[in-house]
Structure 1
Amino acid sequence: MSPILRVAIRARPVLRRPATVSAAWCSRRKFTTTNVRRNEHGEESFEEFSARYEKEFDGVQDVFELQRNLNNAFAYDLVPSPAVITAALKAARRVNDFPTAVRIFEGIKAKVENQGQYDEYLKELEPLREELGVMLKESMYPEAK
């Protein structure tokens, strides 16, 4: 072995447990890799969920808040109601964020179970979409066949 390599090996610090932490404490402590999620809202109905997120989107003042609320709303195992989507689209217009408005419809498409449900959302939100000038990704970038 070369002398340089020997020095490098000897220079490694030896990792030891501090004397203040007992081995018994470490064995009693159960560490896991999963986080325990605490829901501050408890069990809430779909109507309460919708009302809460409508209120959240009505108070949005910047793009970060808008995107955070969208991430939180779409994280649940449900599709937000058209009223929540309307509030989100108005918030996107208020903070002048066109890309996020387009992404809202992509999120809806990903969350619904089938194309028929997506078409119902589009039909319900079409007047607002036209009023705000929000285009769909499908119309901007049609798939090549």
Structure 2
Amino acid sequence: MSASLLRAARGPSTTFFRANIIAAARPQPLAARAGLVAPSLVALATSPFSTTNRLRAEHQEETFEEFSARYEKEFEGVQDVFELQRNLNNAFAYDLVPSPSVLTAALKAARRVNDFPTAVRIFEGIKAKVENKGQYEQYLNELKPIREELGIVLKEDLYPEEQK
């Protein structure tokens, strides 16, 4: 069978023109229906592709104290492992090391949802974020009471042969 017979059996192909049919069937904005906007601008506004950002997020600078208070509140409301890990990822994504109060709230949240591995990983995150070993030691000293209270062991203590 030739390709022309196959096309004839299937009928004419309209896939190339389908995007135009959908765009033409899309309802116009209210301002365009009222005649307040030029038709050329309506075509740009209803285009599924855009080269400019429609919404600009204007965020205020957040102080370290506001950041700490926000994340302490976030960790106090954690109810499952997913929320805990999502909040930890968000907190560690910034160019700063979270305060000990935030980390304490995170450790308590890890205990509340019974997630020991994440509690150990919090200390690995601290170690990765600090600039030097001295800062890491300061965090360990500051968080020692909560570590002892919750029974959290550091990775260095669990696997002493892997120290570098």
TM-score (norm 2): 0.68
Give SS of 1:120's match.
Answer: helix
Q: Within 2, Cα distance between the matches of 1:120 and 1:103?
A: 17
1:49-69: CA deviations, max 9, x gaps?
A: 101111111111111111111
Q: Structure 1: which 5+ runs fail to align?
A: none
Query: What residue is the counterpart of 1:108 in the other structure?
Result: 126
> What does 1:85-100 align with in structure 2 at a 5 Å threshold?
85-100=103-118
Check the 8 A contact 2:156/2:163 in 1, yes or no: no
Aligned to 2:63: 45
Kindly indicate whether the alpha-carbon contact (under 8 Å) linking 2:68 and 2:101 is maintained by their aligned counterparts in 1: yes
Shift of 1:38: 3.5
The unaligned stretches of length 5 or more in structure 2 are 25-42
Q: In 2, distance between residues paired with 1:119 and 1:37?
A: 41
| 1:107-144: CA deviation from partner (whole Å, max 9, x where unpaired) | 11111111111111011111110110111111111217
Runs of 4+ in structure 1 displaced over 6 angstroms? 10-14
Q: Does 1:119 align with 2:137?
A: yes
CA RMSD of aligned residues (A): 3.1
Structure 1 residue 18, shift from structure 2 partner: 2.1
Change (3 A) 1:103 1:38: farther
Amino acid at match of 2:79: Q
Q: Which structure carries more relative contact order (alpha carbon 8 Å, separation 6+)? A: 1
Within 5 Å, which residues of 2 pair with 1:1-145? 15=16, 18=20, 20=24, 25=44, 29-30=50-51, 38=57, 42-142=60-160, 143=162
Relative to the length of structure 1, the TM-score reads 0.76
Cα 1:140–1:100 change in 2 (3 A) is same
Query: Whose Rg is larger?
Result: 2
With over 3 angstroms needed to count, the CA separation of the structure-2 counterparts of 1:92 and 1:37, relative to structure 1, is farther
1:62-101 CA-to-partner distances (Å, cap 9, x unmatched) read: 1111111111111111100000000000110011000100
Percentage of pairs with the same residue: 69
- Whether contact under 8 Å (2:120, 2:153) holds in the other structure is yes
